[in-house]
């Protein structure tokens, strides 16, 4: 076992604090990864503060992990010491169900083992995430980081990147499509970059008019301030596809009516329930769907796509000692657009 420095939430009511955890030596098919960077996801805050219920304490958050393989089990064939790798939102699944066999491990019928605030497949070993100096993971749940990309800017791709890439890819967004991204935060800014790299004409929809310049700088072709009078009527039936990244309560019907006939709107945020008018779907044969991260195969595909198109996240790198301050800033939307922890700051403390 390896005693490992980390930051943890001891309860839902207290700030994250320095904490020690144990990481096992790699088993025959596992690798030990020295963590270099870990992104800060809004879902970290939800889970640390038990806003979704069911949180397990003490909790070491973090599921946007980039690091280096430093030990490999004797039967590991996919990785070698020194490889630069990533770990995303889950670290295991049952391997046997239909979803797992099809490379959709995030939908594992037995339940995936999330990278933190979860249990391994034995149902009793608690998982701890990337706000720590190292992590032991099955070789099958590790991702190759393409060479040439700045690692601190790659880390958020392991959640924000795949969360936006997967629905764009799965629902067939292609060059020339008119795509709207709802919300310009950690998810939304990646949606803009990826949709643009796919060749779409991209419009950002935001309640914050002040984000117009940022949206265009990120590559958007147009910007719509949704609080302005008449914008939903003027832009009715304009888009082929809408990616809705907002977790705050909002009216789906307004946005559905921006879709053309046979258009699709996909939710990746989880806001409070909102009434849905059947007519918003029925009258133009529109589709409303949801999407959850992506499997290992698709996440690797996303990383390779991002390397090919030089797509990375816009980040602010912080020492881990500022993580509680970063949480408060996330809640105020005071980040452009993702915090990333430099784990070297933890190794020195």
Q: What is the mean pLDDT of residues 190-214?
A: 97
As a whole number of angstroms, the distance between CA 174 and CA 254 comes to 24
Report domain 2-159+294-348's class: alpha beta
Indicate the pLDDT class of residue 270, thresholds 50, 70 and 90.
confident
Question: How far is it between the farthest Cα atoms of the chain?
Answer: 64
Residue 248, pLDDT above cutoff 90: no
Cβ burial, residue 308 (10 Å; 0-12/13-18/19+): exposed
pLDDT at residue 45 in the model: 96
Number of alpha carbons in the 13 Å side-chain half-sphere of residue 310: 2
Q: Which residue reads 């922890």 in tokens?
A: 341
As a whole number of angstroms, the distance between CA 194 and CA 338 comes to 16
φ and ψ of 137, to 5 deg: -140, 145
Cis amide leading into 22 (omega within 30): no
- Domain residue ranges of the chain, discontinuous segments joined by +: 2-159+294-348, 163-290
Instruction: Specify the 3-state DSSP secondary structure of 52.
Output: coil
Residue 93, pLDDT above cutoff 80: yes
Report domain 163-290's class: alpha beta
Residue 349, pLDDT above cutoff 80: no
For 309, the token pair is 């198109």
Indicate the pLDDT class of residue 128, thresholds 50, 70 and 90.
very high
For 111, the token pair is 């339940």
Number of alpha carbons in the 13 Å side-chain half-sphere of residue 219: 23
The reply to whether 2-159+294-348 and 163-290 are identical in fold is no
Render the burial of 215-235: b for 16+ CB within 10 Å, e for the rest. beebbbebbbebeeeeebeeb
Comparing 47-56, 272-281, 308-317, the range with the smallest average pLDDT is 272-281
Render the burial of 271-300: b for 16+ CB within 10 Å, e for the rest. eeeeeeeeebbeebebebeebbbbbbebbb
Contacts 24+ apart (CB under 8 A), 195-199: 195/164, 195/168, 195/243, 196/220, 196/221, 197/305, 197/306, 197/309, 197/311, 198/168, 198/173, 198/174, 199/174, 199/175
Q: What is the mean pLDDT of residues 302-318?
A: 98
φ and ψ of 257, to 5 deg: -75, -5
As a whole number of angstroms, the distance between CA 247 and CA 270 comes to 5
Q: What is the mean pLDDT of residues 114-120?
A: 98
Residue 23, pLDDT above cutoff 90: yes
pLDDT tens for each residue of 44-57: 999 999 999 999 99
Residue 118, pLDDT above cutoff 80: yes
Residue 271, pLDDT above cutoff 90: no
As a whole number of angstroms, the distance between CA 18 and CA 135 comes to 16
pLDDT tens for each residue of 27-46: 999 999 999 999 999 999 99
Residue 239, pLDDT above cutoff 90: yes
As a whole number of angstroms, the distance between CA 257 and CA 288 comes to 11
pLDDT at residue 264 in the model: 98
């Amino acid at each position: 076992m390896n005693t490992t420095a980390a930051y943890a939430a001891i309860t839902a009511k207290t700030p994250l604090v320095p904490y020690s955890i144990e990481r096992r030596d790699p088993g025959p098919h596992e690798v030990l990864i020295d963590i270099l960077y870990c992104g800060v996801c809004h879902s970290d805050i939800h889970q640390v503060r038990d806003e979704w219920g069911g949180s397990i304490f003490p909790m070491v958050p973090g599921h946007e992990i980039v690091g280096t393989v430093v030990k490999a089990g004797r039967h590991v064939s996919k990785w070698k010491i020194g490889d630069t790798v990533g770990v995303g939102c889950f670290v295991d699944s049952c391997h046997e169900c239909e979803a797992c066999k099809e490379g959709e491990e995030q939908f594992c019928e037995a339940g995936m083992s999330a990278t933190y605030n979860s249990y391994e497949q034995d149902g009793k070993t608690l998982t701890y995430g990337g706000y720590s100096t190292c992590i032991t993971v099955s070789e099958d749940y590790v991702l190759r980081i393409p060479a040439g990309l700045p690692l601190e800017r790659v880390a958020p791709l392991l959640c924000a990147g795949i969360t936006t890439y997967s629905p764009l890819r799965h629902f067939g967004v292609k060059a020339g499509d008119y795509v709207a991204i709802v919300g310009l935060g950690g998810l939304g800014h990646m949606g803009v970059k990826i949709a643009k790299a796919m060749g779409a004409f991209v419009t950002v929809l935001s309640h914050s008019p002040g984000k117009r310049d940022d949206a265009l700088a990120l590559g958007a072709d147009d910007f719509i301030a949704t609080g302005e009078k008449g914008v939903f009527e003027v832009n009715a039936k304009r888009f082929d596809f809408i990616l809705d990244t907002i977790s705050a309560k909002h009216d789906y019907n307004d946005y559905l009516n921006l879709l053309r006939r046979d258009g699709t709107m996909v939710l990746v945020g989880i806001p409070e329930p909102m009434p849905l008018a059947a007519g918003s779907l029925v009258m133009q044969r529109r589709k409303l769907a949801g999407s959850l991260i992506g499997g290992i195969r698709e996440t690797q595909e996303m990383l390779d796509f991002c390397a090919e198109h030089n797509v990375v996240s816009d980040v602010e790198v912080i020492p881990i000692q500022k993580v509680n301050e970063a949480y408060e800033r996330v809640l105020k939307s005071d980040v452009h657009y993702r915090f990333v922890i430099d784990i070297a700051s933890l190794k020195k403390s």
